[in-house]
Amino acid sequence: MPPAVSKPRPRISRRRAPDYAALPTEQVNPGTRRLDRLSAPDLVATITAEDRRAAASVAAVREPLARAIQVVASALRGGGRLVYAGAGTSGRLGVLDAAECPPTFGLPPGRVVGLIAGGRRALWRAVEGAEDRAGDAGRALARLRVGRADVVCAICASGVTPFALGALRAARRRGARTLAVTCSPSPTLAALAEIVIAPLVGPEVLAGSTRMKAGLATKMVLHTLTTGAMVRTGKVYGNLMVDLRPTSAKLRARARRIVAALTGLSPGAARALLSRAGGRPKLAVLMQRRGLSAPAARRVLAACGGDLGVALEGRRGR
């Protein structure tokens, strides 16, 4: 019997582990080394002073953020989706922003999606090790059938989280547009994302606790990104959310105020008009201002891409 011939093992490509100690998000803040000795009022003063730095860091990235708004608006106009992907605090912030879009802007659920490493249970309890499973991100994008019409935005405070980087790699393979939000820019992110939005918040008050300044800056970037994209796609008239879904008492009252403000009607008349418009403030305003029936107003809005400004004032498309 001939001796068994051992086959050479295939080489497994291993990416070098990041030097976590060198990450900006892991540095020790020299101004807060005596944090544990501060009084409660001094703790508040210290933390809020650092938070102001986070806000300033977002203002410093307005150019890439503006470009990202245009990318997302273009995708949404074309029927595509914005898909956030992140782990831990970053993932929760993405899910939060995605969840707010349908009631605020009348966007169908599923047009802005939040993916978090570890799945739904990771929203309220840490799932240990989930952030290190890059393949999970690719499988999640495959289940969503992400493609060329979509935009995938990795949220990655440290810049090295495997789940977020895996989402970008999978998105590129699937032909989707790619964005990244991080507080630690790197050549890897620059190679994977078309646009990197990187507010530089500096070391955290509590060393390594990216739920603080990094989380605050990330929240500001995300709500600016989606609000800006919704404005650009006609979901806002002036500074009013004319496409909101009045699914609660508070939102129903807001819808009535919007209609009354834009038509000059009394609260009671605005309520009646909204009822005829199926609860849609945008449709109600167009009906009143143009003297249209609900079906006719729907046709006009459809012809104007759903943009009330275009329907009322003949503005050019955005």
Active site residues: 100, 131
State the sign of the Cα–Cα–Cα–Cα dihedral 14, 140, 58, 77. Answer: positive
CA separation for the pair 194, 190 (Å, rounded): 7
**Phi, psi torsion values for 114, nearest 5 degrees:** -115, 125
Distance, in Å, from the CA atom of 81 to the CA atom of 107, rounded to the nearest integer, reads: 11
Q: In this structure, what is the dihedral angle of CA atoms 247, 251, 254, 258, given to the nearest 10 degrees?
A: -40
d(CA 208, CA 158): 9
Closest CA to 167 of 204, 122, 131, 216: 131
DSSP lists the bridge partners of residue 155 as: 86, 181
Beta strands per DSSP E along the chain: 82-86, 112-116, 151-155, 177-181, 195-197
Is the separation of the CB atoms in 174 and 147 below 8 Å?
yes
Label each residue of 275-309 as H, E or C.
HHCCCCHHHHHHHHHHCCCHHHHHHHHHHCCCCHH
Q: Among 227, 196, 222, 202, which residue's Cα sits nearest to residue 214? A: 202
The Cα–Cα gap between 59 and 261 comes to 32
CA–CA distance, 153 with 193 (Å, rounded to integer):
8
3-state secondary structure of 237: strand
Q: How many Cβ atoms are within 10 Å of 152's Cβ, its own excluded? A: 28
